[in-house]
């Protein structure tokens, strides 16, 4: 028969054998899922990565850089925050208006689909084309294979807006506006404020609007 001290020692070893790998896995999963967020004022990476658009041509984000900057929206075909639901119209209905206002301000505007885990299904190129045609998109809509561009930006949601200045440095990231918030006291137009900042030098809020939407579906 084992002594009490020996029995306790075996129990401790068994505990460590079971618990430590579980904790290690949980910790690694946490850090893998936490995307590195691009900091305000930093030069945006991945500008030269080539992606395919719904017109079957290849572009990089640099091709859409305007004289006064650029707006990049990570989007998709199905998220309720994009396409809308019973409680929210969805930001997709604002895309064309934002695009037109950006064009007038000499600011580029482009949509990027980084849902790599769904690129064989609801976010396939065929479905992207169908969505763009059905909604009358005026802007380019690119497929980010393997979420490489989203990873470089630290994009988290669909939609997730990133605004660059004329030098390719990040000046704003987050939500298009706060129209999703049923408890809001006033509409806060983050994207439009960013356009005014780029073209008129008006002050933007020091508080970065948190992105709202569905998580980007990485592989």
- Give me the pLDDT at residue 12, please: 56
- Give me the pLDDT at residue 17, please: 45
Q: Which residues contact 75 (CB under 8 A, 6 or more apart)?
A: 82, 92, 95, 111, 112, 113, 141, 158, 159
Q: Where are the domains of the chain?
A: 1-34, 37-215
d(CA 122, CA 117): 10
- Give me the pLDDT at residue 15, please: 44
State the fold for domain 37-215: Glutaredoxin (3.40.30)
d(CA 65, CA 190): 20
- Give me the pLDDT at residue 129, please: 98
How do residues 95-153 score in pLDDT, each as one tens digit?
A: 999 999 999 999 999 999 999 999 999 999 999 999 999 999 999 999 999 999 999 99
Could you tell me the mean pLDDT of each successive run of 10 residues in the chain, 219 residues long? 53 44 36 64 94 98 97 98 92 97 98 98 98 97 97 97 96 94 90 95 80 96
Region of 10 (left: φ > 0; alpha: ψ -120 to 50; beta: rest) is: alpha
140-143 and 108-113: which strand pairing? parallel
Instruction: Determine the straight-line distance between the first and last CA of the chain, rounded to whole angstroms.
Output: 52
- Give me the pLDDT at residue 21, please: 39
- Give me the pLDDT at residue 24, please: 39
**Percentage above 90 pLDDT, the chain:** 73
Helix and strand totals (H; E) in the chain: 6, 9
- Name the strand (E) or helix (H) holding 158: strand 157-158
């Amino acid at each position: 028969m084992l002594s009490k001290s020996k029995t306790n020692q075996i129990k401790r070893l068994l505990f460590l054998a079971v618990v430590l790998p579980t904790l290690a896995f949980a910790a690694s999963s946490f850090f893998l899922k936490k995307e590195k967020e691009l900091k305000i004022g930093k030069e945006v990476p991945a500008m030269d990565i080539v992606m395919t658009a719904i017109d079957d041509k290849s572009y990089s984000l640099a091709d859409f850089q305007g004289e006064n900057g650029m707006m990049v929206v990570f989007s998709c075909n199905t998220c309720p925050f994009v396409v809308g639901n019973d409680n929210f119209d969805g930001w997709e209905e604002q895309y064309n208006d934002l695009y037109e206002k950006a064009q007038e301000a000499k600011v580029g505007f482009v949509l990027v689909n980084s849902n790599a885990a769904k690129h064989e299904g609801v976010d396939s190129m065929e479905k992207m084309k169908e969505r763009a045609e059905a909604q009358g998109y005026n802007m380019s809509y690119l497929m980010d294979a393997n979420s490489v561009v989203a990873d470089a930006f630290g994009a988290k949601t669909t939609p997730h807006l990133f605004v660059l200045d004329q030098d390719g440095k990040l000046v704003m990231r987050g939500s298009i506006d706060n129209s999703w918030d049923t408890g809001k006291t006033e509409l806060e137009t983050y994207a439009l404020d960013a356009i005014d900042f780029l073209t008129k030098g008006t002050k933007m809020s020091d508080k970065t609007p948190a992105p709202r939407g569905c998580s980007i579906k990485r592989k």
